[in-house]
Chain A
Amino acid sequence: MRSTAASGAVLMGIVTVILAYGGWALSFIVPSGRDVWLPLEYAGLIAFSAWIAWGALALCYRNGNHNILPLTMFIITVAWLETYRLGFSTEDFSQGPRQAVFIAAGLALFLAVVVCLRDYRILEDYKYIFLILALLIQISVMLFGMRINGATLWVDIGGHSFQPFEFTRILLVFFLASYLRQFRGWLRMDLISENWRLPHRAFIMLGLGMAAAEILLVVQRDLGMALLLFGIFVSLFYAVTNRKDILALAFGLSSVGAYFCWRIYPHVQERVSNWLDPFVAFDGSGYQICQAIFSLANAGLDGTGLGLGGAAYIPAVVNDFTFVAIAEEFGIMGAGALLAGMILLFAECFGISLRVKDEFGSILAAGLVYMLAWQSLINLLGVTKVLPMTGVALPFVSAGGTSMLSCFAVLALLWRIDISDTPLKKTKRIRRADGASGTERALEAENGR
């Protein structure tokens, strides 16, 4: 179903009402001595910037998907209200305002990317640069990064810490989408040909690139991101090549790798044992997940109500466990509404991938949505103890500027792919009818096809 500006406007209206009501509700639980109307002012800032961004897109790009931004704003709004409220309990009173500014900045970035990135297809030509850049960033993090919670994930730039993997994961999706599309013909061939020649260099290149990235992430102890990258790779590889044998090989190798990680790294063993029974280490590493369980046990059908839950007792709640806090204070129904919002948002995004006629656009869009969806799932399944906890931020929900900006950038790229589907007036590059780029044509000529 093609979205219209009308359905988007209705959704934006709903989001505005939630923001207004939520900001007003927050004024009741503002600790004494603080400005009671501050939450409402920041809610106004969010609503204002959301309407500006959405209105500009609706006016300038009539053929765009105008449901995506309101659905995102719904998720962001619920999460922001909870983040703001948790700031009261942890006595971090600037947390809510700070997050509101990040949201406004994210919306500005969204507009900027949509307007400035005229042709996303140029991304395809820089795939090796993206790969090398991604690896370089991760290596430099390892060398210069800060160690927080046993993992080297953060770098400090001008007094602000940020998590570079939020950006490297996007670069890696660019690389994967371009590479898989270009070599899909080769990758669909048998691994070992009749002449006992080595596998095609596409396999070797891809295998080495992915293995290098995975090993870097594991050495940095960023298990969540390693799992994320693996998920994106497996999904995209299957979608493009339909190679189940390679997938089996990848699963086999990564199982062996996971087993050795578990044997070698104490922190991996800790994660697994905290997943199996967190109460054994209640006073230690299991405390966080135990408190999260108590929080959920307090939730009930409709939750405790905003400000009445105790999720602030979970250490680092706004980084990893915002979903649990939302579930506690808004109940099973609130958590269900948030998940429904995510399902609708990602369904719209998958719709872009399926609708776009350009094959690279389709694969890139799919890769970006797999990334957002799988990252959300790793967090959600971790905090509800379905999977071991890996400490991955929940897109649009977890507090933090890097995560918010990078997620908005991804969303803008998806949006751009959607509207680029209709022919641009000035096509800078000559394209074949089947969508293959000039590079590929040259390559095929070289290979004598």
Chain B
Amino acid sequence: MDVKERIRRLAYIYLALFFVPLLGVSRYAFFECDEYANHRDNHYNMTAPALRGSILDCHFRPMAYMHRSARVYPLGEAAAPLLGYYSRIYGEAGLESALNKKLLGNPIPRDPWAAYKIWKKGGRKGDDIVLTVDSDLQKKAFEALGGYKGAAAVMSVRDGSLLALASAPSYNPEEKLLEENWEEISRDEEAARLLNRSIQGLYPPGSTFKVLIMSGCLEDGFVSANESFNCEGKDLVVNFVLNCSAVHGKVSLKEALGYSCNVAFGRMGLRMQMEGIRKWMRAFRMDDPLKDVPGAAQAVLPTVDTSSAPAETAIGQGDTLVSPLHMARIAAVIANKGLDVEPHLLREQLSGSDAVWRYEPEKAQRVISKKNAALVAEAMEFTVREGTGMAAYIPGVRVAGKTGSAENPHGKVHAWFIGYAPAEDPKVAVSVILENAGGGGKFAAPVAREIMKAALELPEFKSGKK
């Protein structure tokens, strides 16, 4: 064997070694792509913004999309806490963060044939996400909050799709403005602009909780439909004074809800005991992780077990904490004649024009009997017709609802309203909270009225109306 033969052999080895870098590239670009593309340190996907998918509303109108390598939010402030932001400096928040993986698109599949097909289609592009939210309603709901700190959740009664999740105060999510005003947006803990209060804000439910108490009491037989209570304006429960807004005198169950009588519901709470209240909170799925609503907070179930706690909890005080979404869900259960449908925010994931994922509704669960649901519904309608919720009345539409004024350590009471409309054929359930605004009937009910009015104007509900 001479020198040239050995040179030739070494040459083959050298040339063969040039395939190794290709394997090295394939390792990261192909085989371990998933792991590194989604690595926690990888803030890198942001550098390919032209490929990021859009977020669309239920009529495929864009709510967030890429235009000339900038993220555009047509709704601006109105949807910012819901959609979040997308910034090359500060990362993502809200749905932009929760759906980041989907918006970036699937990594190239390992199957070479599938990879080839993607390549033929024009390469990788992030998937588009279709929400159940309606842009117009979202905008109107945000405007309806009228400058108050607060939130509104609007839910379709029939299928549980969330039509609007408004939260205020908000911010402008456009990348440039966000980066300019970052200090103001992120540091102001009082305003908490980045928080989507409609699903992440946790508040004491106030009197709106009485809807749940009434349902539970009727179901467990602690109260009968024709029972009446005597209200003297206040009641002493062990060492806790139950104050009523007025001396209601002898009230029926319906009137007790309609006038929001604390004495009557305090007594009902004592009959249920804490165990019963917790049981019914679970029955209304308040401990549900809400997997179909990304970012939603779980309710905090009451834990205090003093002898006066049931009375306190039954009127929505104590240590119970819920989000507006939870309360909208309770209204929807009553509207649905006792059936609970899963609230959801995502409808479809589109890859190009193909739906790669679609929301599959689960079977509706019965929470309370049809008969008892009808009793609660009647009482809620009475509330808007003659009781505390008269400000929510829409001419020509039968509205059912319940107000709430939740005492809290931050100042004036939180104004609450939950309800649905139209009562004879419920279409939308709504829940509104205005932080430290004052009484629910005075402040939250008109907001809910505007939102319900706007919701019933939506084409899908209008066409259903004969």
Interface flags, B92-116, vs A, CB<8A=1, else 0: 0000000000000001100000011
Considering the complex, give the chain A residue whose CB is closest to the CB of B8. A354
User: B4 near A354 (CB under 8 angstroms)?
Assistant: yes
Q: What is the minimal beta-carbon distance from B120 to any residue of chain A, in angstroms?
A: 10
Whether B119 is near chain A, meaning CB under 8 Å from some CB there, is yes
Report chain A residues within 8 Å CB of B18. 339, 342-343, 346, 373, 376-377, 380
Report chain A residues within 8 Å CB of B20. 377, 380-381, 384, 386
Report chain B residues within 8 Å CB of A308. 48, 50-51
User: A310 near B44 (CB under 8 angstroms)?
Assistant: yes
Whether B17 is near chain A, meaning CB under 8 Å from some CB there, is yes
Report chain A residues within 8 Å CB of B10. 235, 238-239, 366, 370
A9 to B25: give the CA distance in the assembly, Å.
31
Considering the complex, give the chain A residue whose CB is closest to the CB of B1. A242
A332 to B123: give the CA distance in the assembly, Å.
13
Whether B47 is near chain A, meaning CB under 8 Å from some CB there, is yes
Given contacts A310-B48, A384-B21, A385-B24, contact A302 B42 (CB under 8 A): no
User: B47 near A332 (CB under 8 angstroms)?
Assistant: no
Interfacial residues of chain B within 230-270, with CB under 8 A of chain A in the complex: none
Whether A67 is near chain B, meaning CB under 8 Å from some CB there, is no
A238 to B10: give the CA distance in the assembly, Å.
9
Whether B283 is near chain A, meaning CB under 8 Å from some CB there, is no
User: A302 near B123 (CB under 8 angstroms)?
Assistant: yes
Report chain B residues within 8 Å CB of A343. 15, 18
**Which of the residues A296, A346, A373 comes within 8 Å of B28, measured between beta carbons?**
A296
Per the CB 8 Å criterion, the residue count for chain B at the interface is 47
Segment with Cβ contacts to A, from B29-37, B293-301, B452-460 = B29-37
A322 to B115: give the CA distance in the assembly, Å.
25
Report chain A residues within 8 Å CB of B51. 304, 308
User: A386 near B24 (CB under 8 angstroms)?
Assistant: yes
User: B11 near A331 (CB under 8 angstroms)?
Assistant: no
User: B14 near A332 (CB under 8 angstroms)?
Assistant: no
User: B44 near A374 (CB under 8 angstroms)?
Assistant: no
Given contacts A335-B22, A354-B7, contact A297 B48 (CB under 8 A): no
A22 to B348: give the CA distance in the assembly, Å.
39
Whether A369 is near chain B, meaning CB under 8 Å from some CB there, is yes
**Which of the residues B32, B46, B47, B119 comes within 8 Å of A297, measured between beta carbons?**
B32
A354 to B50: give the CA distance in the assembly, Å.
50
Report chain B residues within 8 Å CB of A167. none
Interface flags, B26-69, vs A, CB<8A=1, else 0: 11111011011101011011111011000000000000000000
**Which of the residues A279, A300, A373 comes within 8 Å of B29, measured between beta carbons?**
A300
Whether B278 is near chain A, meaning CB under 8 Å from some CB there, is no
A332 to B42: give the CA distance in the assembly, Å.
20
Q: What is the minimal beta-carbon distance from A230 to any residue of chain B, in angstroms?
A: 14
A239 to B27: give the CA distance in the assembly, Å.
33
Whether A301 is near chain B, meaning CB under 8 Å from some CB there, is yes
Q: What is the minimal beta-carbon distance from B157 to any residue of chain A, in angstroms?
A: 44
A346 to B14: give the CA distance in the assembly, Å.
9
Given contacts A299-B28, A359-B3, A370-B14, contact A294 B115 (CB under 8 A): no
Given contacts A279-B41, A339-B22, contact A369 B11 (CB under 8 A): yes
User: B15 near A332 (CB under 8 angstroms)?
Assistant: no
Considering the complex, give the chain B residue whose CB is closest to the CB of A301. B115
User: A386 near B3 (CB under 8 angstroms)?
Assistant: no
User: B50 near A297 (CB under 8 angstroms)?
Assistant: no
User: B33 near A377 (CB under 8 angstroms)?
Assistant: no
Q: What is the minimal beta-carbon distance from A389 to any residue of chain B, in angstroms?
A: 12
Report chain B residues within 8 Å CB of A374. 14
Interfacial residues of chain A within 280-315, with CB under 8 A of chain B in the complex: 282, 290-291, 293-302, 304-305, 308-310, 313
Whether B410 is near chain A, meaning CB under 8 Å from some CB there, is no
Whether A323 is near chain B, meaning CB under 8 Å from some CB there, is yes
User: B21 near A332 (CB under 8 angstroms)?
Assistant: no
A68 to B79: give the CA distance in the assembly, Å.
60
**Most chain A beta-carbon neighbours within 10 Å: one of B21, B30, B115, B118:** B21
Q: What is the minimal beta-carbon distance from B31 to any residue of chain A, in angstroms?
A: 10
Considering the complex, give the chain B residue whose CB is closest to the CB of A181. B3
User: A240 near B3 (CB under 8 angstroms)?
Assistant: yes
A310 to B7: give the CA distance in the assembly, Å.
41
Considering the complex, give the chain A residue whose CB is closest to the CB of B41. A282
Interface flags, A355-377, vs B, CB<8A=1, else 0: 00001001100100110011011
Interface flags, A424-448, vs B, CB<8A=1, else 0: 0000000000000000000000000
Whether A350 is near chain B, meaning CB under 8 Å from some CB there, is yes
User: B22 near A332 (CB under 8 angstroms)?
Assistant: yes
Whether A336 is near chain B, meaning CB under 8 Å from some CB there, is yes
Interface flags, A319-333, vs B, CB<8A=1, else 0: 000010001000110
Q: What is the minimal beta-carbon distance from A306 to any residue of chain B, in angstroms?
A: 12
A347 to B13: give the CA distance in the assembly, Å.
11
User: B29 near A299 (CB under 8 angstroms)?
Assistant: yes
A154 to B137: give the CA distance in the assembly, Å.
65
User: B3 near A362 (CB under 8 angstroms)?
Assistant: yes
Q: What is the minimal beta-carbon distance from A394 to any residue of chain B, in angstroms?
A: 10
User: A309 near B30 (CB under 8 angstroms)?
Assistant: no
Whether A95 is near chain B, meaning CB under 8 Å from some CB there, is no
Given contacts A346-B15, A377-B17, A385-B24, contact A297 B3 (CB under 8 A): no
Report chain A residues within 8 Å CB of B33. 297, 300
User: A299 near B25 (CB under 8 angstroms)?
Assistant: yes
Report chain B residues within 8 Å CB of A323. 21
A336 to B30: give the CA distance in the assembly, Å.
14
A267 to B379: give the CA distance in the assembly, Å.
77
Report chain B residues within 8 Å CB of A220. none
**Which of the residues A239, A282, A377, A384 comes within 8 Å of B7, measured between beta carbons?**
A239
Q: What is the minimal beta-carbon distance from A437 to any residue of chain B, in angstroms?
A: 16
User: B6 near A290 (CB under 8 angstroms)?
Assistant: no
Q: What is the minimal beta-carbon distance from A27 to any residue of chain B, in angstroms?
A: 17
Whether A353 is near chain B, meaning CB under 8 Å from some CB there, is yes
A280 to B46: give the CA distance in the assembly, Å.
23
A238 to B48: give the CA distance in the assembly, Å.
48
Interfacial residues of chain A within 219-244, with CB under 8 A of chain B in the complex: 235, 238-240, 242
Whether B285 is near chain A, meaning CB under 8 Å from some CB there, is no
Supplied contacts A235-B10, A301-B30, 13 more A-B pairs, CB within 8 Å: A294-B36, A297-B33, A297-B35, A298-B44, A298-B45, A304-B124, A332-B25, A335-B21, A336-B22, A350-B8, A359-B3, A384-B20, A384-B23
Residues of chain B at the chain A interface (Cβ within 8 Å) = 1, 3-4, 6-8, 10-11, 14-15, 17-30, 32-33, 35-37, 39, 41-42, 44-48, 50-51, 107-108, 115-116, 118-119, 123-124
The 7 closest A-B pairs by CB, nearest first: A384-B24, A310-B47, A296-B28, A297-B36, A380-B21, A299-B29, A350-B11
23 A-B pairs within 8 Å (CB atoms) are namely: A239-B7, A294-B36, A296-B25, A297-B42, A298-B45, A300-B30, A300-B115, A302-B119, A302-B123, A304-B48, A310-B46, A327-B25, A332-B29, A335-B21, A346-B11, A354-B8, A369-B14, A370-B14, A377-B17, A380-B18, A384-B20, A384-B24, A384-B28
